[in-house]
Amino acid sequence: MGIIVTGATGHLGRLVIEGLLEKVPVDQVTAVVRSKGKAADLAARGVRIAVADYNVPETFDGLFSAGDKVLLISSNEMDKDRVAQHKVVADAAKAADVALLAYTGTAATLKSSIADDHRATEQIIRDSGVPYVLLGNYWYHENETQQLAQILAHGAVVRSAGEGRVASASRADYAAAAVAVLTGEGHENKTYELGGDEAWSFAEFAAEIGRQTGREIVYNPVSVETLSGILTDAGLPGPFVASIVGVDVSIAKGELAVLTGDLSRLIGRPTAPIADSIAEALKALEG
């Protein structure tokens, strides 16, 4: 029995691999990557490296074996047919009769179009007949903290989320949840709604950035139309603008504010607050 992680050199994938290496022998871990060179450090530590591409179905032929546990990390290629990409992995998992197929999706409550590919993938996985775990990763702290340079440059957080709140969590906590289901028992055919222990507002987000930097950072709530115009003028493509604005609309409606406790229960500790991720991002900017 092996544990196989797709997208293993991405931000989330690397954290999952690190977590697995703390729990199981290295010879039980396989990292699926598109570029072998990017995984050279993992190979040097004894991790088995498999080269496969979501866009090339035949590269997954024979990659999985009966009894394997597989983590399908969702594709980040927003310009591709992500559902078709994910189906390649689900089909390969079914053909191999794997013991478990885990998938990193999103919150069931999220109605934004950004969730459509996840919904379709989840249905494919359910229909496959393979034992599965659906990891509904609500929202990542890092989705917001990666904007810190721009926020600091303008002294403002500009969003169209109104007074909506977000129960986000850190990438590290989501990775820990994946490790828990891949190395634990009794997770078959379950869906987990994974969010942080606390939901924050963008006014609170701005205030925390201000507290940590000693600068005045304000939250400037704007209309959907205004935000769309700002992002379009910044050169972002139309579909990406629609996705960003759509998430803000969902946040305003409270679709990412539900506190389930699933994440802290899976990882066996409280989730890290967004203040921690802000501190990490600020440190990275200084470095």
Question: Taking the domain 3-139+170-194+259-272, which CATH number applies?
Answer: 3.40.50.720
Q: Domain ranges in the chain?
A: 3-139+170-194+259-272
Q: How far is CA 207 from CA 122, 142, 157, 164, 219, in A?
A: 37, 17, 10, 15, 8
Yes or no: say if 83 and 117 are a contact pair by the CB < 8 Å rule.
yes
In tens digits, the chain (287 residues) has pLDDT values of 799 999 999 999 999 999 999 999 999 999 999 999 999 999 999 999 999 999 999 999 999 999 999 999 999 887 789 999 999 999 999 999 999 999 999 999 999 999 999 999 999 999 999 999 999 999 999 999 999 999 999 999 999 999 999 999 999 999 999 999 999 999 999 999 999 999 999 999 999 999 999 999 999 999 999 999 999 999 988 888 998 999 999 999 999 999 999 999 999 999 999 999 999 999 999 87
Predicted confidence at residue 181, as pLDDT, reads: 98
Yes or no: say if 4 and 63 are a contact pair by the CB < 8 Å rule.
yes
Q: Considering the entire predicted model, what is its pTM?
A: 0.96
The percent of residues in the chain predicted with pLDDT above 90, rounded, is 94
Dig out the tokens for 4 from the structure: 């196989």
Predicted confidence at residue 236, as pLDDT, reads: 87
Predicted confidence at residue 137, as pLDDT, reads: 97
Separate counts of helices (H) and strands (E) for the chain? 12, 11
Specify the residue for token string 């906590």: 173
Predicted confidence at residue 275, as pLDDT, reads: 98
Say which DSSP state 56 is in.
B
CA 49 to chain centre: 22
Q: How far is CA 181 from CA 67, 123, 209, in A?
A: 15, 20, 34
Q: Cβ atoms within 10 A of the Cβ of 149, count?
A: 12
Identify the CA nearest to 112 among candidates 1, 253, 243, 222. 243
Predicted confidence at residue 76, as pLDDT, reads: 87
Predicted confidence at residue 9, as pLDDT, reads: 96
Dig out the tokens for 53 from the structure: 């591409």
Phi/psi of residue 190, nearest 5 degrees: -115, 150
Predicted confidence at residue 287, as pLDDT, reads: 77
Element (H, E) at 179: helix 171-183
Total residue length of the chain:
287
